[in-house]
Copies of this chain bind each other. A is one copy, B any other.
Amino acid sequence: MTIVIIGLGLIGGSFARDLRDSPAITELIGVETNPEHLRQALELGLVDRTLPLEQAIQAADVVVLAVPVNTIDRLLPQILDQATSTQTVIDLGSTKQQMIENVKAHPNRGRYVAAHPMAGTENSGPAASFKGLFKNKTVLLCDLDHSAPDACKTALELFHIAGLKFEFMDAVQHDRHAAYVSHLSHIVAYALSLAVQNEEKAGYAVPRLAGGGFASTVRLAMSSSDSWVPIITQNRENILTAVYALSEKLEEFKRALETNDESKLRELIDHANKIRELL
């Protein structure tokens, strides 16, 4: 099986590393338009070779899209235009509704499998990739009933090699829930980072006072705008709803603080603690 991975950053690079030694894969071809990332990917030996997009797709049994979601939006219809009845096209983007909607009526829709692996770090680029990023994580497969059975089988086979567990979800539901559980965490971390940096002596205080708690809460604030502006923009309405919900909860804390209402603070915190049962 010849696999083409478009985008050799954290996600694509890590997926390449996971597939590298599998006997099921005969060749790994990379497509990377960022010259510095291309150089790094080759130096790290992430793929056997790299090719321009058109040629790579012609050589592929499977095309994996691991680029920002706005680029997936742009490339997916073009790739499906050329797709043969034996090729499989998989995307690994963090939003699903819009890209699926875009190709809903495409004659080759069945060749496409929409996936969102729930794995990542705050780092980006080929140098941030590592083998095992996906191990024991979950990949959400959306609207699989619109993908051809053989395309599904191929996608599941590759995800299995990477150590991913499967969940199935409707794309509309996916985007709504991902806004709360994944995307909102990023907004929260960005806002925390900005509030702390805004503090007059952040450069003095952060290195001294940042324990594991702050580091953990703010970690996602290091996630790149190249990946996250497109995600936030695509899932804008759901994320806005989630941000409103967060603001409301923050207001409850503010009011409890302003009125020095200890029993309200205790109630809020005890309720917040229950997230343990869901994780």
Contact A187 B137 (CB under 8 A): no
Contact A221 B272 (CB under 8 A): yes
User: How many angstroms from the CA of A265 to the CA of B251 in the assembled complex?
Assistant: 23
Spot the interface stretch: A26-34, A40-48, A98-106, A236-244. Answer: A236-244
User: How many angstroms from the CA of A187 to the CA of B251 in the assembled complex?
Assistant: 11
In the complex, what residues of B have CB within 8 A of residue A212's CB? 119-121, 137
Interface size class of A (residues with CB under 8 A): 35 or more
Distance in Å: Cβ of A48 to nearest Cβ of chain B = 29
Question: Among residues 199 to 250 in chain A, which have CB atoms less than 8 Å away from a CB atom of chain B?
Answer: 199, 201-225, 228-229, 232-233, 236, 239-240, 242-250
Q: How many copies does the complex hold?
A: 2
Contact B239 A208 (CB under 8 A): no
1/0 contact string of A5-37 vs chain B (CB within 8 Å): 000000000000000000000000000000000
In the complex, what residues of B have CB within 8 A of residue A232's CB? 257, 265
Contact B195 A180 (CB under 8 A): yes
Does A55 reach chain B (CB closer than 8 Å)?
no
In the complex, what residues of B have CB within 8 A of residue A266's CB? 225, 229
Contact B247 A254 (CB under 8 A): yes
User: How many angstroms from the CA of A232 to the CA of B254 in the assembled complex?
Assistant: 11
User: How many angstroms from the CA of A38 to the CA of B237 in the assembled complex?
Assistant: 51
Does A75 reach chain B (CB closer than 8 Å)?
no
Contact A217 B217 (CB under 8 A): yes
Contact A217 B274 (CB under 8 A): no
Given contacts A138-B208, A181-B210, contact A203 B278 (CB under 8 A): yes
Distance in Å: Cβ of A189 to nearest Cβ of chain B = 6
Contacting residue for A250 out of B180, B211, B243, CB 8 A: B243
In the complex, what residues of B have CB within 8 A of residue A194's CB? 249, 252, 268, 271-272
In the complex, what residues of B have CB within 8 A of residue A145's CB? none
Given contacts A225-B265, A243-B257, A272-B190, contact A213 B182 (CB under 8 A): yes
Contact B225 A273 (CB under 8 A): yes
Does A253 reach chain B (CB closer than 8 Å)?
yes
